Structure 1
Amino acid sequence: MNRKLVLLLSLLYVAFMAYLFFHYRSTEESFKSTVAIGGMVCGAVPFLLALFTKLQFNLPIVISYLLFLVGSQYFGSILGWYGLGWWDTFMHFLSGAILAFSGIALYERLVHRDAEVEISPWIIFLFTLSFAAFGGVLWEIYEFSSDQFFDMTLQGGGNDDTMIDLISDTGGGLIIALWSGVRTKIKLKNKQEYPQLT
């Protein structure tokens, strides 16, 4: 079911961006039509992964990813909400939270269930927070590189913009990391008190 839903949601997003591409191309708005092409490519990623791999999808992460694309590409770039100032900060906060959820999903796939009893909730907290912060750092490297090599202005505010973005990424990741640490602590306590339920 998850795979079919991922295919459907991705196709809907790609179709929406394709419609926007043709619409903005007909009105000769090249920036918006270029963003729509990027939207089609980004929206196709979950579709192609679902179609050509045997990955098990974490549906909340895929939905969050597509909502992030809507927020950044459609609202932010096409409708111009990045000009509001706070929208970029909000999107970085949201991406930090999404990356943290991705870190949790990665951790749960990599660590054997029997080993979870031996792992401190602090390790899960630190892994989740670090995963989100590292994703933010990679994005800022991308922005810096694009500005340097392709004469773009992704870091419009220079160092201030970079630091606000990194703080926002870390803030979003911190909230989810705290939640994951507390959730793990509760799960461990329940396993110790009620071993027959596990």
Structure 2
Amino acid sequence: MKKQNIFSIIHITIYLIYASCIVYFVTVRNFRSIIVSILSLIGIIILIILNKKYKHLFGNLLVNTLIIFIAISILGGTCFDFYRFNHFDDVLHITSGFIGCMVARILFYFSQNETDIPRKRIFFVIYMFMFSMGIASIWELIEFGLDRYLGFDCQAGGLTDTMFDILDCLIGSIIATIYYYFKIRKAENIKR
């Protein structure tokens, strides 16, 4: 099966899941979850449209990883309260470390000649790591703002929750940067 067909199946599945959840939230009159689901779905649709319009600007793998991640965190975590399960939040934050590194890699390729990357391998992995950790910090600031000014409960444990979230992202970022370091090194050795 072609990759494009797999991506189309993922998109259709995500749309069906969102539609089912929205119908469910309407029947149980959970208006907060209806609004959050609709906004999340709109964000996913915009991401998919931008990726198609700009000839896979972000790359299909990253876009599909993001839409699955968003669906799991928003529908599962926020709407169905999966955050009450031990380590659900940890898995999401470790995964966000990987995703942050994927985004950093794409942005790096935009500004560089791909053949120069092996020579800049150390800078590349440091950049990826710092970018991913920067995203984690910004996310924690957003959670703080939502809690403080809109009455959400994103940082259930306060400072402790924030520090564990950043630590989880650190773990994901370290694993991802090690993976990309060796991937670049392997590509460099093949070219020799």
Q: Indicate the residue corresponding to 2:174 in structure 1.
A: 174
Alpha-carbon distance in 2 for matches of 1:170, 1:117: 24
CA displacement 1:132-160 (0-9 Å, x = unmatched): 11110110010111122212221111100
Alpha-carbon distance in 1 for matches of 2:173, 2:127: 10
**1:1-198, aligned counterparts within 5 Å?**
9-10=10-11, 12-119=13-120, 121-191=121-191, 194=192
Contact 1:133 1:173 in 2 (8 A): yes
Shift of 1:26: 2.2
Alpha-carbon distance in 1 for matches of 2:47, 2:182: 30
Contact 1:7 1:50 in 2 (8 A): no
Alpha-carbon distance in 1 for matches of 2:68, 2:147: 26
One-letter code of the match for 1:97?
F
One-letter code of the match for 2:70?
L
CA displacement 1:58-110 (0-9 Å, x = unmatched): 12211211221232122222332100131011111111111111211222232
Alpha-carbon distance in 2 for matches of 1:117, 1:154: 40
Alpha-carbon distance in 2 for matches of 1:177, 1:111: 18
SS of the residue 1:155 aligns to: coil
Alpha-carbon distance in 2 for matches of 1:4, 1:129: 32
Alpha-carbon distance in 1 for matches of 2:47, 2:16: 14
Contact 1:65 1:98 in 2 (8 A): yes
One-letter code of the match for 1:172?
G
Alpha-carbon distance in 1 for matches of 2:89, 2:64: 20
Contact 1:129 1:173 in 2 (8 A): yes
One-letter code of the match for 1:150?
L
Alpha-carbon distance in 1 for matches of 2:45, 2:150: 25
One-letter code of the match for 2:99?
I
SS of the residue 2:143 aligns to: helix
Shift of 1:7: 6.2
Alpha-carbon distance in 1 for matches of 2:53, 2:60: 17
Alpha-carbon distance in 2 for matches of 1:14, 1:81: 20
Structure 1 stretches lacking a partner, 5+ long: none
Contact 1:76 1:82 in 2 (8 A): yes
The alignment-based identity, stated in percent, is 17
CA displacement 1:119-143 (0-9 Å, x = unmatched): 2x21121111111111101100101
Structure 1 pair 117/172, CA: closer, same or farther in 2 (3 Å)?
Answer: closer
Alpha-carbon distance in 1 for matches of 2:13, 2:58: 17
User: How high is the TM-score relative to the length of structure 1?
Assistant: 0.84
Alpha-carbon distance in 2 for matches of 1:168, 1:85: 14
Higher CA-based Rg: 1
